[in-house]
Structure 1
Amino acid sequence: MTSPRTPAPDVSIVVPIYNEVGNLPDLVARIGGAMAAQPLTFELLAVDDGSTDGSRAQLRELAAATPWLRPVLLARNYGQSSALQAGFDRVRGRYVVTLDADLQNEPDDIPLLLQRLQTDPGVDMVSGWRKDRQDAEISRKLPSRIANKLISSATGVHLHDYGCALKAYRRPIIDRIRLYGELHRFIPSLAKEAGARITEVPVRHHARTRGVSKYGIDRTFRVILDLILIVFFMRYRQRPLHAFGGLGLWLAAPGGLILLWLLVLKLFGHDIGGRPLLLVGVMLVLMGAQMIVAGLIGELLTRIYHESGGAPQFHAEEYMPEHSLKTAPAPAHQAREATEIVA
């Protein structure tokens, strides 16, 4: 295993693993071969997510003979998002690459994604697009197409293939996002929220030859539920009152109009006590008031969170031209920070 004292590599490759013992030797060998063909140094963080098929022991054996392989062994099966986050917490490179362990992603495409990051300073994330996908049409392709269209239209991040695990990032983007639950499906959306400029490149895809797929058609329904969370997170995280309060007003307004109409009828001598419309109006007003109160509570919690030193409200870089650095030298600690920003 690579010692933390060794120089930081240029690239950190993160691969979540769950019961892939048959693929691991080929995976490590093919990643090593792909990275040997380009000049950047690298490390491979293989995160075992509580495998029960001998993958953990296989990783230990491979690490003993592979200095750039760093196994990360989770205590139990936590899920793909947690496995990726465990790898992200340990990356040391200035570029971060992710891919699956089933060898359906092509390791030889990793340099292609890295080259795009190196040559295009306007791109922070490169997402793979399995243009010629080698999966069953009904069980995998159709649910994926539905999910891609839903996510693209809801989040505004238009990609052909959200589900492709082969992606490359600049390190600051990875440092700004946190994964939990099943948010690994929405990394491009989270990256956009963190300020990333995203592009997509076609990559190769292979049919699975060993192991068993962990995905099914029920995944599409879970994506819809997670998508609600992501849309709320992207649009209303800083202003929950706009979400809950807006819904509350939409409920309370027709309820108030109904009660006003019934009041007019009452003033003209009509009996309104037995009308179902009275109950509807009262329920709408009460529900609207509850939603508005929930929004106010959310605003209070958001204020407390940020004022107590929670996650930053924004991410920014300060541009300082080289001539200003020369004419106005800063103190030592500030000079180091400025150099890092400009670089």
Structure 2
Amino acid sequence: MADIKPDISVVVPVFDEEGAAPELAREIAQAFAGRSFEIVFVDDRSRDATRAALMALKPSIPQLRVLTHTANSGQSRSIRTGILAARGDVIVTLDGDGQNDPADGPQLVDALMAGPDDLVLVGGERVKRRDSRAKKLASKFGNGVRKSLLKDTANDTGCGLKAFRREAFLRLPYFDHIHRYLPALMMREGYRVEFRPVNHRHRQTGVSKYTNLGRLWASLSDLLGVMWLQSRARLPGAVEEL
């Protein structure tokens, strides 16, 4: 695998997901079978056996790579670590808890590849969400506020399942929680983004790493920051070499 450059890199951040991660890796491998791909799991210094469970799968899933942080640094940093290490030009991200359905990944990639040159991101929009009522209400409120302020056209930016161009991501300014603002930041660079409905599943193992109050507190400062970035964007139009 080290000498072969895949077309697609599936990046999965995980933290204390020993129950979900192995089956998720197998599902990803099945979903992308027949394509040129790699799977990059980034373990954010888990306290359980997540790393060992993933390493045990490497003989049976040759596309699997496992990276680990020596200090816990959050989901956005884990995603960025995976993207920096990725060899594919197209990135697919999924949450590590198994609620995103890997079977939806290829359709997002196909939509991205079939689009115009300026289409750089196709995001998933979860239908029939399998979350608590409180979580769904908080998410609906947060998505509505964000969409109204940022004009990013996204109904569900919290969906971890996305397909996008690696090069486009690397052009973006990095900050914690960036993964929730990719559509707005891609549009800030003059790119096009689209969305497709995707499946959402019940969490089978482990516990959520976020609370509604924690999300709200982080979102307030993040929104202000992204709004400031949008206000400071100046696009040059087409760039020509003379």
**Structure 1 length normalisation: TM-score?**
0.66
> Unmatched 5+ residue regions in structure 1?
239-312, 320-343
The 5 A counterparts of 1:53-68 are: 53-68=48-63
Partner of 1:128: 124
Q: Secondary structure at the match of 1:59?
A: helix
| Residue deviations 1:165-184 (CA, integer Å, cap 9, x gap) | 00000232122124332222
Q: What residue in structure 2 maps to residue 35 of structure 1? A: 32
TM-score for the superposition, normalised by structure 2 = 0.92
Q: Which has the higher contact order (CA 8 A, sep 6+)?
A: 2
Q: Which has the larger radius of gyration?
A: 1
Equivalent residue for 1:185?
180
Cα 1:55–1:120 shift into 2, 3 Å: same
2:29–2:61 Cα contact (<8 Å) kept = no
Q: Is the 8 A contact 2:21 2:98 kept in 1?
A: no
CA deviation vs aligned residue, 1:30-71 (integer Å, no higher than 9, x gap)? 0011001xx430001100011001111222222243211111
Equivalent residue number for residue 97 of structure 2: 102
Residue of structure 2 in register with 1:25 after alignment: 22
Q: What amino acid sits opposite 1:8 in the alignment?
A: K
- Cα deviation for residue 110 of structure 1 reads 0.6
1:226 is aligned with what amino acid? D
Q: 1:256-298: per-residue Cα shift (whole Å, max 9, x none)?
A: xxxxxxxxxxxxxxxxxxxxxxxxxxxxxxxxxxxxxxxxxxx
The 1:318–1:200 alpha-carbon spacing in structure 2 relative to 1, beyond 3 Å, is farther
Distance 1:95 1:54 in 2: 29
Change (3 A) 1:161 1:64: same
Instruction: Give the SS at the match of 1:127.
Output: strand
Which structure shows the higher strand fraction? 2
Distance in 2, matches of 1:92 and 1:164, equals 23
Q: Is the Cα–Cα contact under 8 Å of residues 83 and 166 in structure 2 kept in the other structure?
A: no
Instruction: List structure 1 segments (4+ residues) > 3 angstroms apart after TM superposition.
Output: 313-319
**What do residues 169-218 of structure 1 show as CA deviations (whole Å, max 9, x unaligned)?**
02321221243322222121122223320011000001111110112111
Q: Is the 8 A contact 1:95 1:169 kept in 2?
A: yes
**Contact 2:120-2:164 within 8 A present in 1 as well:** yes
Per-residue Cα deviation, 1:120-158 (whole angstroms, up to 9, x for no partner) = 2252210100021111111x1111111111111111111
C-alpha distance in structure 2 between counterparts of 1:315 and 1:165, whole Å: 31
- Please list, as runs of the form range in 1=range in 2, the aligned pairs for 1:185-334 lying within 5 A after superposition: 185-218=180-213, 219-236=215-232
Within a 5 Å distance, the mapping from 1:38-117 to structure 2 comes to 39-117=34-112
Amino acid at match of 1:131: V
> Is the CA contact (8 Å cut-off) linking 1:194 and 1:315 kept in structure 2?
no
The residue correspondences of 1:151-162 to structure 2 (distance < 5 A) are 151-162=146-157
Relative to its length, the structure with more helix (as a share) is: 1
Matches of 2:126 and 2:145 in 1, distance apart? Answer: 18
The alignment partner of 2:54 has SS state of: helix
- Structure 2: distance between partners of 1:20 and 1:178: 29
Secondary structure of 2:212 counterpart: coil
Residues in 1 aligned to 2:237 and 2:126: alpha-carbon distance in whole angstroms: 31
- CA 1:80 to 1:314, structure 2 compared with 1: closer, same or farther past 3 Å? farther
* Shift in alpha-carbon separation, 1:14–1:315, aligned structure 2, 3 A: farther
CA contact 1:9–1:43 (8 Å) conserved in 2 = yes
Q: Deviations 1:60-91 (Å, cap 9, x if unpaired)?
A: 22224321111111112101111111011111
User: SS state of the match for residue 65, structure 1?
Assistant: coil
Q: What is the Cα deviation at residue 318 of structure 1?
A: 5.3
Aligned length: 239
Alpha-carbon distance in structure 2 between the residues aligned to 1:52 and 1:315: 48
Q: How far apart are the structure 1 equivalents of 2:182 and 2:224?
A: 15
CA RMSD of aligned residues (A): 1.9
Instruction: Specify whether residues 235 and 205 from structure 1 end up closer, same or farther in structure 2 by C-alpha distance, changes over 3 A only.
Output: same
